[in-house]
Every structure is written in C-alpha cells, then in structure tokens.
C-alpha cells in the first residue's frame, strides 16, 4: 500500500510528490501502526491471533504432563473450582511471560530469520507432541503442601516451564501480531483440555483417544512448520 505526501516549496507552491510506502500489516513484518490497517484485515488478524493458539494449545495439552497434574489435583482435593481458578492464574502468568519473549523475538529478528526459526521450532514441537509425557515426582509432591488454589497455581506454573505448550506460546506470539489475544487463546486452550479432566476425573481421561489426538496436534504443528518454511522462502526471495 502506498501513500503520497507533498512537500511545499519555499515560495509556497507544491513541490514534487514524494511516495511513501507502508506495509498494510500482514503480520509483524513492516507493521507501523494499527490505524493503517483496513478494518476487515485487522479483524481477520485478530481472529487468527485468538483462534489458532486456542486450537494448537488445546490439542498439544491432551496427554501433557500438566493434564496429568490436573488429574492428581482433582483426585487429591476434589474441589474443582479452586483448581480451575489456579489453572487460569498460573497459565495467564506463565504464558504472558512466554508471549512477551515471543513478541521480543518477533521484533528482534528479520522476517526471513524469524520464519526459519519458527519452522524449525514447529517441526520439533510436532515430533515432541507424539511422545507421551510423564509426571515427575517433585511436581506430583507439590500437591500435598498447600490448599487447592495455591497448590494448583504453583504446580501448574512450575510444570509449564519448558513445557511444549509454553514453547508453543513463544512461537505463536512471535508469529501473530496481537499478543494479548495469543495469551488469551493459549489460556483458553489449556482450559479446554484441562477443565473436563478436573470435573470428570480419570473417567474423562480414559475415554479420550490420546494417540489420535497427539497425531492431530503433531499434524497441526507440522502444517504451521510448512507455512513458516514457505514464508521464509518468500522473505528470502526464493519464491
């Protein structure tokens, strides 16, 4: 999208028209301000920033160690709502930090380098998603120390450090322009996966086709990796 500005000559007459180019905010690259974005395009970007992280994290969380932690907490305390509140608080805090890192990464690297990093990260996460998680003894023992809300808050925050859903949040925040929507989306994704487990306990977990869901999540991450490779090739001028 191009804009034109006119410089006034010393005698007050209009000088030469000077073109000014501005990228219409297709993502993070070339973004200058939200006011330059066409409303339909911005709405589409906002929906993508919310819905894609929600779906990706919800799929990646199935069978994850934090879901196993939710099972332990639900069995230990049998108080679902404080546990759910703790999950929300821990996820918002953890993913806000992860999203801030992702936003910094997205602004620090060039478009081509960023897309190559994203492609490699998404591909690695796709493979990681296929491997079932196990709870560490230290993480499980945290559930015996405090009440349901504080235990869930601490345990989930610690369990999410270095977890694939946290890394996915970093990558998604680097790719999508609306950071706050990415954080909300990843938090909603965590709730979609964990709330039924907290409410229904082991029965819900045993009925889920975990292998199929892991494969779907891995496929979603691999699709994101392929898209990132294509964007990297575009940014590098190869296509």
Domain boundaries, the chain: 1-37, 39-235
45-69: b (≥16 Cβ within 10 Å) or e: beebbbebbbbbbbbbbbbbbbbbb
At residue 17's C-alpha, the angle toward residues 15 and 19, to 5°, is 150
Predicted local confidence at residue 239, as pLDDT: 78
Distances (CA, A) of 22 to 4, 19, 29, 57: 10, 10, 11, 33
> Mean pLDDT of residues grouped by 10 in the chain (239 residues)?
44 45 41 56 86 91 85 85 96 96 86 87 86 62 72 92 90 90 96 91 65 82 89 86
SS3 of 20, please?
A: strand
Q: What is the pLDDT of residue 195?
A: 94
pTM of the model: 0.71
Confidence (pLDDT) at 144: 57
Q: How much is the pLDDT for 37?
A: 60
């Amino acid at each position: 999208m191009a804009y034109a500005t006119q410089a006034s000559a010393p005698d007050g007459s209009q000088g030469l028209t000077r073109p000014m180019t501005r990228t219409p905010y297709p993502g993070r690259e070339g973004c200058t301000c939200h006011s330059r974005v066409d409303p339909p395009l911005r709405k589409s970007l906002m929906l993508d920033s919310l819905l894609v992280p929600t779906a990706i994290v919800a799929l990646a969380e199935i069978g994850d160690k934090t879901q196993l932690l939710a099972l332990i907490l639900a069995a230990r305390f049998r108080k679902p709502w404080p546990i759910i509140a703790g999950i929300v608080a821990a996820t918002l805090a953890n993913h806000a930090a992860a999203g801030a890192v992702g936003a910094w990464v997205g602004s620090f690297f060039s478009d081509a380098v960023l897309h190559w990093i994203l492609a490699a990260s998404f591909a690695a996460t796709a493979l990681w998603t296929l491997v079932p998680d196990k709870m560490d003894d230290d993480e499980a023992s945290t559930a015996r120390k405090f009440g349901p809300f504080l235990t869930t808050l601490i345990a989930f925050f610690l369990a999410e450090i270095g977890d694939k859903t946290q890394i996915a949040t970093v990558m998604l925040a680097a790719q999508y322009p609306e950071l706050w929507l990415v954080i909300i989306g990843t938090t909603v994704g965590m709730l979609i996966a964990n709330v039924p487990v907290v409410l229904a306990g082991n029965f819900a977990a045993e009925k889920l086709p975990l292998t199929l869901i892991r494969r779907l999540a891995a496929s979603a991450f691999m699709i994101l990796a392929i898209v990132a490779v294509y964007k990297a090739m575009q940014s590098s001028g190869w296509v």
